Structure 1
């Protein structure tokens, strides 16, 4: 156990030190407007070079700073959360490999090194999702890795298409190759890769399924690493795709994802899945604002979201831990009386997600919605944005109502002791960042003045929607079912939305049905039918009978040999007599 704790502390201090270094470099590069492009020649054989390219600018340093901060806090949190785990060393190594793969992707201007980090994320995430090694984990892991494999294949196709240009460093082609057919194909492949990794429609079903992983992993995956890789890739490729048909398609897909996940979260009762669907909604927001040509705003929301979403998952992990691993929010209630500090962190992260003024989420969400109000977009997209914001408020208040405002129903055998101080230190570190990161990032990233001119009604539209969402969230939490018809309607609605428009069924059973049915019929015809009688089993029976005869002869060696010798002599004697 001491070795396990020591690996936790070593990993925590290493990542925290790396975070501080990234912060210093970020300030330096941002202030001086530096971009550093490094090429490391690994090997040169007969004028064929293997070169590793690294792109260092303020964006990569800032993102690495946030990834290393969250991962260090998560590893420190795991010291207590996973304390009963026998293989804690293996778990920490997997988390470090996961973080290393993300770093590899962040600093890569080369499509091949991006693939290494991208594929590393997919494979290590599979190992982490199946970590508990049960049927549910295996199913979720397979759905996760196969969905992400589509994006890996698209990146491989990108590599083959980019062989036409003589270099895989994509940053050389972003500005002047827009109208080339090959580059359009590359854009399409990059877009599909980003959709799979960031779980947009129709690849959304793997994100709630990935909740089978341990909660510290969920905090890391759903805040700053795996799901944000697609958004970050599109931010890097933004110059190539802006004002193209691909971004218009992305706008529709991401807005629908945002709306669908917001509706699904209001019908979900699993604590971790509600937060996962919230992540999906925020990813749709990042993708949609990116598709409108505002990459810095998307990056800003990505970073602020990472802080409060990691905190939300750590609080959820603490609550699940104390509730003896029960995740259904209907069996909880009144936890604020027993674990006030965890409830404080949970409420602040929830309010930050809603966009309550002067928390981290407010600075990015309010700015995004005001830019949307200023943009020249149609009423359909505009309504989807504001409805999705209202839905975020609804499921956040519904979650708070079930966990804290609702009475303690004593339906679960809980163990609400005083909170663990190692977990609390981790949560308070992220709580501090949730409070200050919004204003800090806004001062650093948007160092030029942004003038937003809106009417009074449009300016307060965000406040109206947040207030309406809060009222609706309280209403659906207190709603009573008084009739059979209402219960049936709610049942079908909850099935439709909680199953994400039946997307998990379509993406698993819907795809596998024909192949599994064909395999079943082949098994009946071939393995259990006449084909088996005349081929497999028939041959086995013939060989078995022959082997019995040979065994009989071999087990009675001397007697059989003497008898055969006498028979042989008799046959010779008979043949001799017949000749006379």
Structure 2
């Protein structure tokens, strides 16, 4: 709370504070740790700390009976500290410390349950994020040209310099891996192998938002070309994940794909030039997504670790409070008027509609909004209403008061934070002038999406499922356009297969017989012959003498 009020003070007074801590001085060289405190970093830190405190409180009961509970809590704390370091750093080196801290601790948390699925998911997460870490290391190397790693000084001043352009491309690549944009999207649903409190933290305010936050900080240095590329990739990610969530039956993966869709939304509005709107949506999204995962965790916990939504149904009778929270979060995610998600989402879409870029951007934004509502209502139908499809021998109840308290701490903010933040962050209101139809377009798409989602769930319609050879559209769209296959087997299968061919042809084939082995055999035979000569040199000498004498005699006669 103190950080929140401090950020309000900084915002009102238009303050920005850079703190330099001299860690070490050696022969006139100083190692300095720099911290940047402005309204943005303080506000984001207050949200991260509030959400993580609720998640840790919730974990006490969710992870009850776990042998290594202390280790789990310490890992979560390390995770939050890494994020803090990343938020307050105006320096690329200290950002890398926080960035790598997030990557390493997330690996430890994803493999927490230590089964084959967790190990696979952890490896995919770690290796996907390494690509971005390398990009960040390269940008650190290039920034050495400026004499300091405090990027905050150079963003606008050196905008036209090609080195700064190169650095901004590297930073965008790093942000794309951490925020799971195409083609690095497959690790995000795989990371659901982690315990649910971790998912709640990762998908709301820490790991995946780190990339967006870095781009918000760097946005002043982006060229037009880079923004076009980012806009295209992020809008495709938003559309792809919204479509994929409509074919998914795993509760946590549906919510993970919805996170991916919202990250695409944040990045695309950032690429359109409104970084403050991206930050606004980042904060409101963090609240309702954390609560959404907590509700999902409570449902999974009570259903004996069952995550398939087809086994749920009619939960509103058994778990009324959890389902109420779940429904409010879902509606906030859809952008239902006057919940927190509405203020940021509606503003983003209207600002996009004010622009005159092209029909592709316009269409994909509205389609993605429709798809978000579609999978949300499908999820609501499968879980909260309808028939109860689980085992008749069950222990469904809302006896977990600690978990309910943790969830209740967030619900007021989910409802009210949107309006509160919009008053705080935009003291001068945006003036948006749109025709009546365009003004209602968001509402129309929400209603159409809700109707489609409900109908598809009610009649078990497999949407537009048709086959193309051995590939069906539902398998193609449901597996995120085959991206998990490309990320795993695509970089794994062919190198191993070509290695087998190489072994057969070169190491164990005729190449070896006529090449290395044959040459070795021939050289060995020649060296043995010379060895024979050198071992018997006296005999050879006499023999040569006899031959010489015979040769002379022949010449005489």
Instruction: State TM-score, norm by structure 1.
Output: 0.85
Offset at residue 482 of structure 1 (A):
10
Offset at residue 69 of structure 1 (A):
0.5
For the Cα contact (< 8 Å) 1:481–1:487, is it kept in 2?
no
For the Cα contact (< 8 Å) 1:323–1:412, is it kept in 2?
no
Query: Higher mean Cα deviation, 288-297 or 176-185?
Result: 176-185
1:558 aligned residue: none
For the Cα contact (< 8 Å) 1:339–1:416, is it kept in 2?
yes
User: 2-side partners of 1:108 and 1:304: how far apart?
Assistant: 23
Residue 33 of structure 2: which of 28, 42, 52 is its match? 52
Offset at residue 513 of structure 1 (A):
1.1
For the Cα contact (< 8 Å) 1:261–1:280, is it kept in 2?
yes
Offset at residue 488 of structure 1 (A):
5.5
User: 1-side partners of 2:224 and 2:462: how far apart?
Assistant: 51
Offset at residue 491 of structure 1 (A):
7.9
2:362 aligned residue: 382
1:548 aligned residue: none
TM-aligned CA distance change 1:455 to 1:125, over 3 Å: same
Residue 349 of structure 2: which of 369, 382, 407 is its match? 369
1:163 aligned residue: 144
Query: Higher mean Cα deviation, 488-497 or 196-205?
Result: 488-497
Query: Higher mean Cα deviation, 452-461 or 106-115?
Result: 452-461
1:459 aligns with 2:403: no
User: 2-side partners of 1:524 and 1:426: how far apart?
Assistant: 60
1:440 aligns with 2:425: no
SS of residue in 1 equivalent to 2:253: helix
Equivalent runs, 1:413-428 vs 2, <5 Å: 414-428=394-408
For the Cα contact (< 8 Å) 2:462–2:474, is it kept in 1?
no
Residue 239 of structure 1: which of 216, 220, 229 is its match? 220
2:314 aligned residue: 334
User: 2-side partners of 1:412 and 1:140: how far apart?
Assistant: 33
User: 2-side partners of 1:347 and 1:467: how far apart?
Assistant: 16
SS of residue in 2 equivalent to 1:419: coil
Q: Deviations over 1:103-134 (max 9, x none)?
A: 00000000000000000000000000000000
Offset at residue 218 of structure 1 (A):
0.2
TM-aligned CA distance change 1:29 to 1:500, over 3 Å: same
For the Cα contact (< 8 Å) 1:331–1:412, is it kept in 2?
no
1:91 aligned residue: 72
1:78 aligns with 2:59: yes
Residue 34 of structure 1: which of 1, 15, 33 is its match? 15
Offset at residue 413 of structure 1 (A):
5.4
SS of residue in 2 equivalent to 1:54: strand
Offset at residue 474 of structure 1 (A):
0.8
Offset at residue 520 of structure 1 (A):
4.5
For the Cα contact (< 8 Å) 1:315–1:427, is it kept in 2?
yes
SS of residue in 2 equivalent to 1:405: coil
User: 2-side partners of 1:174 and 1:480: how far apart?
Assistant: 52
Equivalent runs, 1:83-482 vs 2, <5 Å: 83-241=64-222, 243-411=223-391, 414-480=394-460
User: 2-side partners of 1:373 and 1:30: how far apart?
Assistant: 28
The answer for unaligned runs of 5 or more in structure 1 is 1-19, 536-580
User: 2-side partners of 1:48 and 1:25: how far apart?
Assistant: 34
User: 2-side partners of 1:529 and 1:211: how far apart?
Assistant: 45
Between the two proteins, the alignment pairs up a number of residues equal to 513
Offset at residue 529 of structure 1 (A):
9.8
For the Cα contact (< 8 Å) 1:36–1:57, is it kept in 2?
yes
SS of residue in 1 equivalent to 2:158: coil
For the Cα contact (< 8 Å) 2:165–2:221, is it kept in 1?
no
User: 1-side partners of 2:261 and 2:462: how far apart?
Assistant: 32
User: 2-side partners of 1:336 and 1:43: how far apart?
Assistant: 60
For the Cα contact (< 8 Å) 1:370–1:452, is it kept in 2?
yes
1:505 aligned residue: 485
Offset at residue 517 of structure 1 (A):
2.0
Offset at residue 181 of structure 1 (A):
1.3
Offset at residue 479 of structure 1 (A):
2.5
Offset at residue 24 of structure 1 (A):
2.5
Q: Deviations over 1:189-220 (max 9, x none)?
A: 00100100000001100000000000000000
- The alignment yields a C-alpha RMSD, in angstroms, of 2.2
2:520 aligned residue: none
For the Cα contact (< 8 Å) 1:131–1:214, is it kept in 2?
yes
